[in-house]
Structure 1
Amino acid sequence: MVRFNGPTFVVLLLFQGVAPVLGRQVPVIDGIIGGIPKSDPIIGGNVFKLQTNISTTPGQLRVTENSGICETTPGVYQASGYADLTSTQSLWFWFFESRSNPGNAPLTIWLNGGPGSSSMIGLLQENGPCRIQNDSSGEVALNPYSWNNVANMLYIDQPVGAGFSYGDTEVSTSQEAAEDLWTFMQIFFSDSRFSKYADLDFAIWTESYGGHYGPVTAAYFLEQNAAILNTSILGIPINLKVLGIGDGLTDPASQYPSYLNYAMNNSYHPLVGEDVFQNANATMFRPFGCLDRINECAESDGDASTCGLAQLICNEFILTPLAGDYDVYDVRALNPDPYPPDISSYLTNPNITSHIGAESTWQESNDDVYENFALTGDWMISSLPQLEFVIESGVRTVIYAGDA
């Protein structure tokens, strides 16, 4: 049994929606972090946006190689472009070969959270070959600590609609997102430019809503591998060896109560006053309060209305008040904090986008994607069963958290 007892687990990156502009991985809806749009008539509906006029090449990649953007280390291969899942759905990726021994280095995919946030956040603000500068210039500099020092890194904007990805925004659950990622990897490994990476060790690293994405995707990949092995489907097995989750939302029933303790008893200072804490504490444990609603969601087997109501109540009366006025990346600092710097000017610069082959306007977080997930109640559905399955299957798993 996997349990989450640490009070800091998930808190900080789940709070990334506090900031109005910088690093927005969790949308703020009507002032509520991770809220549900109240203008939508029913939970369980959708806001699918169809864009059927898109002309693509289903089942194939469209690639720009060695653009010279971001990774400037001599001799290091990079590629960016689209995997066309269907004639109206295209996922954006940016691949960087390892700076060291790429033929034996693992292939690692990186997924940011949201749901609906771009993985370019991770690339440019966190662990990619270049990092946005903290000087308002909108320029990047080579990152000597990039993860592609030791791994072949593949950043994917998913689901469709996130970041540079575009097309019909139909995905509304973590399971559907996992299925699209499987299709993406099949297309990627089928391409002659990337087939050589299929036999390498494979890792999934993710954060924030990746507490859902990571376990669900890893479990689905393992299930598909088994189906290939018993010949019930055709496909390229994925050599999954590692799952890494940073500050992830995985099991709301164990994690939401820990927010109360963290808000008042973290290593630095209380995030809120006693009155805010007492109100949140009462809402957490009263009959039909937050914890009861989370448990009802679990008992309902993922019913959209039941789980959506849990998200609405818990995020309005627990998550949002307990965030306080402190910076989402460094709880030692008050908002607004200019770090990490905004990446939108860089990713909307025509001189950049034309060189890397981006064909759509970059979005840090796609509201349509987020609302699709919100209306299915996916947020409050535990991914603990999938996480346990992945660990018990022998996949090395790292779960980490940070607050400053």
Structure 2
Amino acid sequence: MNVITKSQASTKYSFSLVTRLRKLQQKSLEKQSFPISLLLFTHTHLIIPSIFAFRGTTIIIFFRHPQGEASFIIMARPTWVFLQLFTIFAFLHLGIAVSTENPLRQQELDRIAELPGQNFEVKFGHYSGYITVNEESGRALFYWFFEATEDSASKPLVLWLNGGPGCSSIAYGEAEEIGPFHINADGKPVYLNPYSWNEVANVLFLDSPAGVGFSYSNTSSDLMNNGDKRTAEDSLAFLLKWFERFPQFKGRDFYITGESYGGHYVPQLSQAIVRNNLLFKEKSINLKGYMVGNALFDDHHDHVGVFEFLWSTGLISDQTYKQLNLLCANQSFVHSSASCDEILEVADKEIGNIDHYSIFTPPCSEASSNRLRKRMHMIGRVGERYDPCTEKHSVAYFNLPEVQQALHVDPKFAPSKWETCSYLINGNWKDSAGSVLDIYRELIQAGLRIWVFSGDTDAVLPITSTRYSVDALKLPVIGSWRPWYDGGQVGGWIQEYEGVTLVSVRGAGHEVPLHQPKLALQLIKSFLAGNSLSPLQLHSDT
């Protein structure tokens, strides 16, 4: 058993205590004294007894913590039991942590047996839990991981990140986009998504930063001080520890994917990994590339693209179009001026009651109004099973106590009400890069495979924004603009540059896998394989 201490003196003390406990256990066994079973679950937090049980002359005391475990069985006479317990409490009070976390053991503790409302069997394992990314403040990020449906040992690992900032990757990415478990209209039961990306890869969903979804911090001020920089740092810390918990995936081909404000998260985390690999080769992550959809790239070019899309689709007036370009084109997407917000409200009234995230599909009646103005603060919202109210279903399901228990959510840190997006996080975002184009240039030079895709009915971060931002990279064109096909039908259009591939997805909104799940699965297959999307094979009519 490993004993982690804060000083040489406490190290000596801790080893002596462990030795004493072991001798005590052996001595009491020889004397056949009254038993006490003591389980110590320790990691980095204060340890307190959670269960006391008395069975005749047997006293059972349990100490629980979700991050690790150690165990002693002490055989003792009741007359001096509490003296020994006092010694243990003193040991813990000194800040000495007994750590025996076995990565594979913790991995198994994170395994999910079955979800409430799941009336079918699955042929893949899945896991969820916390990983502490900052010991001092107690920041811990929540994840949900799915093995590939077949041949998991040889498939790549894909991380999915939603944006916001402040929105849950589990709420969106897992429960309504690329995950295997989607939620029915009544919040229960779940059903199996036939277009889940774990058909082609092992898929990891991360709620980041702390304060989003089930991720938490023991330091309340953390929730008021999130930003791009710390999110990338914490996400890197998460991955390094996650690979320790799942060592079978070390060295596996690794890709990062996401959408919306994930247009910041994905390249920023990729940059952090590439730089960390150069500094610490023994902790390197085998990052091969990344892919982002309807992504925030560059505040200026993205704004110009949004306003052009709204005007060219006939959603706003000529005058409002001119004012938007005048007052907002050079503003931040996250921290905009009062004058910009005012003209956005004018544009919102002109657009009317439609879903800005997918302009040709019906809106959810309870959440459809005033969305253009909100998109400045919440960047992040038709397929065979399109439902405009999917967020409501997630809220109903993930607030069920039995669901949280199945997902290993610690009730001490669970939010009083789980939400798809945190307006507290979003409204207090501290740093947001005005552009990530320089990061793209750095990562192109690093040799990463980079694809950007865009649903063509999104008015929040539309295809026009993506095209303007990619054009600003000034990359040589290596493949002409052409349509790509799925089942003989146009799936979208593709343009290949030196270092970046741009793909549009026909008939999809802001969340491409929600609106066009089959096309999205074709997209990830081609990306992972490094193949261009299929051109049409023309056949004769005769």
- TM-score (normalizing by structure 2): 0.55
2:335 alignment partner in structure 1: 308
**Structure 1 residue 368, shift from structure 2 partner:** 2.4
Using the alignment, how far apart are the partners of 1:396 and 1:387 within structure 2?
A: 11
Does 2:108 match 1:66? no
* Preserved CA contact (<8 Å) 2:263 2:292: yes
Count matched residues: 321
SS at match of 2:360: coil
Using the alignment, how far apart are the partners of 1:248 and 1:150 within structure 2?
A: 23
2:405 alignment partner in structure 1: 354
Using the alignment, how far apart are the partners of 2:322 and 2:395 within structure 1?
A: 38
SS at match of 2:428: helix
Using the alignment, how far apart are the partners of 2:341 and 2:267 within structure 1?
A: 22
* 1:226-273, Cα deviation, whole Å (9 max, x unpaired): 1113xxxxx52111112111111111111101112211324xxx233x
Question: Of the candidates 325, 328, 338, which is equivalent to residue 290 of structure 1?
Answer: 328
Amino acid at match of 1:271: L
Using the alignment, how far apart are the partners of 1:293 and 1:188 within structure 2?
A: 37
Q: Relative to 1, partners in 2 of residues 1:255 and 1:349: Cα closer, same or farther, differing over 3 Å?
A: same
The 5-angstrom pairing of residues 91-170 of structure 1 reads: 91-120=141-170, 121-133=172-184, 135-167=185-217, 168=219, 169-170=222-223
* Preserved CA contact (<8 Å) 1:271 1:326: no
* Preserved CA contact (<8 Å) 1:125 1:340: no
Q: Who wins on radius of gyration, i.e. which is larger?
A: 2
The 5-angstrom pairing of residues 369-380 of structure 1 reads: 369-373=425-429, 376-378=430-432
Question: Of the candidates 301, 306, 315, which is equivalent to residue 254 of structure 1?
Answer: 301
* Preserved CA contact (<8 Å) 2:112 2:406: no
* Preserved CA contact (<8 Å) 2:320 2:346: no
Using the alignment, how far apart are the partners of 2:154 and 2:274 within structure 1?
A: 22
Using the alignment, how far apart are the partners of 2:273 and 2:420 within structure 1?
A: 27
* Preserved CA contact (<8 Å) 1:308 1:377: no
The 5-angstrom pairing of residues 166-181 of structure 1 reads: 166-167=216-217, 168=219, 169-170=222-223, 171-181=225-235
Using the alignment, how far apart are the partners of 1:164 and 1:124 within structure 2?
A: 14
1:225 alignment partner in structure 2: 277
Using the alignment, how far apart are the partners of 2:328 and 2:230 within structure 1?
A: 27
Unaligned runs of 5+ in 2: 1-43, 48-64, 69-98, 366-386, 458-507, 509-542
Q: Relative to 1, partners in 2 of residues 1:335 and 1:223: Cα closer, same or farther, differing over 3 Å?
A: same
Higher RCO structure (Cα 8 Å, ≥6 apart): 1
* Preserved CA contact (<8 Å) 1:123 1:131: yes
Using the alignment, how far apart are the partners of 1:90 and 1:364 within structure 2?
A: 18
**Structure 1 residue 207, shift from structure 2 partner:** 0.7
Q: Relative to 1, partners in 2 of residues 1:308 and 1:102: Cα closer, same or farther, differing over 3 Å?
A: same
Using the alignment, how far apart are the partners of 1:395 and 1:318 within structure 2?
A: 37
* Preserved CA contact (<8 Å) 1:175 1:217: no
**Structure 1 residue 293, shift from structure 2 partner:** 4.3
Unaligned runs of 5+ in 1: 1-51, 230-234, 298-306
* 1:293-344, Cα deviation, whole Å (9 max, x unpaired): 45xx9xxxxxxxxx8355x554553488256431144311353355242211
Q: Relative to 1, partners in 2 of residues 1:149 and 1:314: Cα closer, same or farther, differing over 3 Å?
A: farther
The 5-angstrom pairing of residues 180-259 of structure 1 reads: 180-191=234-245, 194-229=246-281, 236-259=283-306
* 1:353-373, Cα deviation, whole Å (9 max, x unpaired): 111101213221122221231
Using the alignment, how far apart are the partners of 2:160 and 2:148 within structure 1?
A: 14
Q: Relative to 1, partners in 2 of residues 1:216 and 1:202: Cα closer, same or farther, differing over 3 Å?
A: same
The structure with more strand, counted as a fraction of residues: 2
Amino acid at match of 1:130: F
SS at match of 1:128: coil
Using the alignment, how far apart are the partners of 1:386 and 1:246 within structure 2?
A: 17
Using the alignment, how far apart are the partners of 1:315 and 1:244 within structure 2?
A: 31
**Structure 1 residue 208, shift from structure 2 partner:** 0.8
* Preserved CA contact (<8 Å) 1:189 1:236: no
SS at match of 1:85: strand
Q: Tell me how large the CA RMSD over aligned residues is.
A: 2.8
- TM-score (normalizing by structure 1): 0.72
2:319 alignment partner in structure 1: 278
Q: Relative to 1, partners in 2 of residues 1:68 and 1:313: Cα closer, same or farther, differing over 3 Å?
A: farther
1:10 alignment partner in structure 2: none
Using the alignment, how far apart are the partners of 1:209 and 1:54 within structure 2?
A: 35
